[in-house]
């Protein structure tokens, strides 16, 4: 088993623990067998398809954010300089015969908290975007004329699609 997979499992477990959940809780509520959950936490496998959605719901995280943070979890821990290693906290450690940059992974519990925080921010952003009011189309407007004007405008493609979708909803009414 490779080191990264074991690390992924440790981070999943840390997230579960930070959420005050047990493996049996998740198994019962989301219909995932205990051995499968244990496999995830030991790094023997990673959630796919149906189980991925269940794990996202149980842990209240986005697995894409999880993967991004795991991918970027390796950090430089110090540079050997004149027989001493400079630690992240600014202290030095005496070393012998070593030079260059050393790399390590962020503590699983620290990374778990970062993933939870980022997932929370993303969820709030999604809610904010879903709740934002949609612009109204004036009553009696010639919707086909408005569509033609929007398509001929200098708006970026994403804005044009948004306007087109709003107008399409009004045409159905």
- Domain range spanning residue 16? 3-73+108-131
Are residues 20 and 49 both part of a single domain?
yes
Of 84 and 69, the one with more pLDDT: 69
| Size of the chain in residues | 173
Strand partners, 13: none
* Residue 37 forms part of a structural domain: yes
pLDDT (tens digit per residue) in 95-106: 555 455 666 788
Residues 37-52 have a mean pLDDT of 91
Q: 32 pLDDT exceeds 80?
A: yes
Q: Is residue 83 part of a domain?
A: no
**How does residue 155 score in pLDDT terms, banded at 50, 70 and 90?**
confident
148 plus 63 within the same structural domain: no
For the chain, what is the domain count? 2
Q: Tokens standing for 129? A: 């975007």
Q: What is the mean pLDDT of residues 7-14?
A: 93
Residues 114 and 168 in one domain: no
Same domain, 123 and 147: no
Contact 107, 14 (CB under 8 A): no
Cα separation, 147 vs 157, whole angstroms: 13
The answer to whether position 102 is within a domain reads: no
Tell me whether residue 15 is in a domain: yes
pTM: 0.60
């Amino acid at each position: 088993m490779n080191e990264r997979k074991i690390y992924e499992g440790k981070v999943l477990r840390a997230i579960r623990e930070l959420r005050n959940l047990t493996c049996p809780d998740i198994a019962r509520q989301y219909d995932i067998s205990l051995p499968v959950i244990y496999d995830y936490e030991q790094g023997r496998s990673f959630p796919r398809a149906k189980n991925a959605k269940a794990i996202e719901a149980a842990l209240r995280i986005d697995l894409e954010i999880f993967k991004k943070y795991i991918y970027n979890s390796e950090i430089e821990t110090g540079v050997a300089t004149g027989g001493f290693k400079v630690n992240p906290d600014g202290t030095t450690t005496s070393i012998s015969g070593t030079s260059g940059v050393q790399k390590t992974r962020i503590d699983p519990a620290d990374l778990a908290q970062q993933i939870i925080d980022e997932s929370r921010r993303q969820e709030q952003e999604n809610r904010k975007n879903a709740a934002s009011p949609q612009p109204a189309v004036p009553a009696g407007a010639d919707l086909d004329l408005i569509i033609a004007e929007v398509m001929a405008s200098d708006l970026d493609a994403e804005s044009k699609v948004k306007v087109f979708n709003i107008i399409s909803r009004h045409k159905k009414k």
